[in-house]
Amino acid sequence: MDWTKQHVLVTGGTGSFGKKFVEVMMKSYHPARLIIYSRDELKQHEMRMAGFNHPNLRYFIGDVRDLDRLRRAFHGVDLVVHAAALKQVPACEYNPMEAVKTNILGSSNVVDAALDAGVKKVLALSTDKAVNPVNLYGATKLAAEKLLIQSNAYAGGMTTRFSCVRYGNVVGSRGSVVPLFLQQREKGEITLTDDRMTRFWISLEQGVRFVIRCIEDMQGGEVFVPKIPSMKMTDLAKAIAPEANIRNIGIRPGEKLHEVLISEDEARSTVELADMYVVQPQAALWFGYHWSEQGSPLPEGYHYASDNNTEWLSVSDIQQMIDSLEAGLAQGAR
């Protein structure tokens, strides 16, 4: 794909993922136009002041809940990365209809606007919490995934195609536990909800690079899942604050001990490649199943969970990630 000829839009463009996506795009891929679509004018102003002011960048104020505004923003756009979402689990639990309006209805609006504007590819970001969800955030992301994938049936003879990327916790993103642990370190005590807990982890840079690769490779209808390491939350606490006391406070409502990226039921239609899995839609007449020729099927009964992973981060591995994150935060503060 020749990115220099592409007109790209990212929803939620002022969020953690959006900012890193814009940074990588402008540094390495040089799209003809890159539109940052978000609802917060202050964050857009702060991005400009932080150096995101390239002539090919456009700042577009709008909400994914506003279909007409999306239609206007998508005019002349080739590729859309849909990253906008309400993702704070407690906030979604307390404000359920707000989560539904943004994560589900907003995703539906993205689909409609993309079809109306003739966007070629839409790739939406999802999460491991969408698999066997136990909280509203996960349920809304599951619904958004289903909306995006099945909307390929609406495209008909048009060129618009929809796919999703699904990965685990992003180190240092907004709402991540890492900033909380860094704050708690100053007081000498880290709070864990359960010391058995494990999580998938990926860096912002890795997440962005994976999304870009999937945009290039997608046919429409896939859910792409990267092979990423797991970590024990106790190891994360030790890496951030080795001298601190660790206090268990009990698992919170809507929280799992372990996260799942591919369920046992999904595994039956999933293809394994060297560094990722491709979840194919089941019995879809519009899908060609080309990925089956590039990878291998998963064994019966397989599921990809944070506690049965073959790749784990050690305490020293985690310390390196945290050191890199803190260095980036310190540089950004200057």
Which residue among 19, 20, 87, 129 is the active-site one?
Answer: 129
Query: Which one, of 209, 97, 191, 104, lies nearest residue 147 by Cα?
Result: 104
Q: CA angle at residue 81 from 31 to 215, to 5 degrees?
A: 70
SS3 content of the chain, % helix, strand, coil (to 5): 45, 20, 35
Residue 40: CB atoms within 10 Å: 15
- For this structure, is 20 an active site residue? no
Helices (H), the chain: 16-24, 41-49, 67-74, 89-94, 96-99, 106-117, 136-150, 152-155, 177-185, 204-217, 233-240, 264-267, 315-333
CB 318, CB 235: distance < 8 Å: yes
CB 116, CB 73: distance < 8 Å: no
Residue 53: CB atoms within 10 Å: 10
- Residue 291 has which token pair? 């990925």
Residue 257 has, within 13 A of its CA and on its CB side, a CA count of 5
Q: Name the residues annotated as catalytic.
A: 129
